[in-house]
Structures are given as C-alpha cells and as structure tokens.
Amino acid sequence: MAPSFTRTARQFFSPETLVPFLFGSIALGVLSNAAFTLCTNLLGSENWPVLGIAVGSLLILLLAVWIVTRLVRPPSEPTALPGKRSPSKRRGLVLLVGKKPPCEKAIWFHDSTLERVWLICSAQSLSVAKELQTENARLVLSDPFIVNDVNDPLEFHAIVEKVYASLPEGWWGEDVITDYVGMTAHGSVGVVLACFGSNRPLQYTPAKYDENLKPVGPLDPIEITFDGLK
C-alpha cells in the first residue's frame, strides 16, 4: 500500500531523517568543491578545462546510473498462490448476500458474460437482496432464497443444490460460479460442501483494507481451483 504524501513528508522531516540528510549534503558539497578546485589547479582556469570538468562529471554521473541499473534489480512480480486465480467470466453467479458492495463487485466482474444471478440471503439481508434484484432486473430473474437459520450449513447446501438442479437448458455446472463469502461462516461451509468435488466453481470477493486495517471496499473476486488437491 503506497504511503500518503503527508505521512511521507512527516517521516522525511523528522530529526532522525533530516539531520543526517543535511550533514550528508554539506559533506558532499565540500567534497565536490574540493574536487573542482583540484581539477582547475591541475588544468588551469581557462574555459575549456572547466567545460571538460563539467562534461566529465556528467559522464561519471551517467556511468553511475548505468551501474546502479545493472546491479539493482526490481523486485519480481508476485506469482499467484496455488489454487487461486482470477475467475473466468461465467454465465451464472450465485451470491450469498450480506453487505452490498461485495455483491455489486462480483456482479460487475462477470457482467460481460453474465446471464443469470441467484441471491441467497437472510431475513436481515433481504432488503439488500431486494435492492440488488431491482438494480439487476435482467439478471435476477427469481426472488432471493431466504435462509431461515443462518447457522445451519445444511440449509445453505440444500439451496445451492436446488439452484444447480434447475439450471437453464443447455447449461453445465461449470457455467455457474458461487461466491461463498457474504453471510455467516456456517453459510460458507454449506456452500463449499455443495460445490466441492462437483465441478462447480467457487470464488470469494475479498475486502480492501486501509493502513488502519479497516475495510474500505471490495477487491476483484478470486477463484478457488482446488488444483493442489488433484
């Protein structure tokens, strides 16, 4: 996470940083002045020697930059963790409805190929599900599934099974991806159990956190592939 300008400026102008910087600048200034005086004494005070010193200094600077670029390598780009990847765009999406922003993010991510969305909610999150249904009327073609006991994983399991058992004609299990985060841990367990080992893709939409570890919004979904279990 990139630090803010204010935070960086505060760190730079702190005594621990500023005092060594000033002493270092003075030392470099004295050293460069001494080197320039030595060169002019050796070569004379005519314009051409001074110009030669300037050109030589520039060449030394460019050489130093070149050496640094050869020695200092940028950090390698992070590789995806085993079993995790950016989801392939799917025709269908099953969502556990809790907070609205992660649901919107998941729908937006698959929007280019999405044809159908199924919503699973509780009595407490039904209002959010209704908003999503209204705002995505072309995708949410049936009323949200309302879970009676959010601490019963088997109830979530049964709802997911019902969705896959009534897919539109011509659809396969891999055409639909289920986002298993959004309600209770029991709900996530039930959803994962319904999809695991059945060629039914799973994803989750992680939260983005600020420097104080407070959630500030959702990130793009991540698909769980179970590659390491095969």
Q: What whole-number distance in Å separates Cα of residue 55 and Cα of residue 60?
A: 9
Average pLDDT for 71-82: 49
Residue 76 lies in a domain: no
How does residue 76 score in pLDDT terms, banded at 50, 70 and 90? very low
> Is this structure's pTM higher than 0.75?
no
Residues 202/195, Cβ–Cβ less than 8 Å: yes
36 and 64 share one domain: yes
Q: What is the tally of structural domains in the chain?
A: 2
Distances from the Cα of 159 to the Cαs of 67, 96, 107, 128, in angstroms? 63, 11, 20, 19
**Confidence (pLDDT) at 152:** 96
Q: Average model confidence (pLDDT) for the chain?
A: 79
207 and 179 share one domain: yes
Looking at 26, 43, 71, which one is the last position of a domain?
71
- Reading phi first (left if > 0) and then psi (alpha if -120 to 50, else beta), residue 38 is in alpha
100 and 201 share one domain: yes
Residue type, 202: L
Looking at 71, 96, 111, which one is the last position of a domain?
71
- Count of CB atoms situated within 10 Å of the CB of 15: 7
Residue 152 lies in a domain: yes
Looking at 20-34, 69-83, 101-115, which range is the least confident one? 69-83
67 and 88 share one domain: no
Angle at 46 between CA 40 and CA 52, to 5 degrees: 65
Looking at 71, 97, 121, which one is the last position of a domain?
71
What is the dihedral angle through the alpha carbons of 124, 127, 129, 133, rounded to the nearest 10 degrees?
170
**Confidence (pLDDT) at 218:** 86
Residue 175 lies in a domain: yes
Six token digits for residue 89 = 């765009």
102 and 63 share one domain: no
Q: What whole-number distance in Å separates Cα of residue 191 and Cα of residue 101?
A: 20
Q: N- to C-terminal Cα distance for the chain? A: 35
Q: Are strands 215-218 and 176-179 parallel, antiparallel or unpaired?
A: unpaired
pLDDT digits (tens, 9 = 90+) for 111-140: 999 999 999 999 999 999 999 999 999 999
pLDDT digits (tens, 9 = 90+) for 146-204: 999 999 999 999 999 999 999 999 999 999 999 998 899 999 999 999 998 788 999 99
Residue 79 lies in a domain: no
Q: What whole-number distance in Å separates Cα of residue 85 and Cα of residue 228?
A: 13
pLDDT, greater one: 195 or 208:
195
Six token digits for residue 175 = 């055409």
Phi and psi of 185, rounded to 5°?
Answer: -60, -35
CATH number, domain containing residue 165: 3.40.50.10770
Domain range enclosing 100: 84-229
14 and 88 share one domain: no
How does residue 225 score in pLDDT terms, banded at 50, 70 and 90? confident
Six token digits for residue 230 = 């095969």
165 and 108 share one domain: yes
**Confidence (pLDDT) at 80:** 47
**Confidence (pLDDT) at 169:** 94
Q: Are strands 92-96 and 116-122 parallel, antiparallel or unpaired?
A: parallel
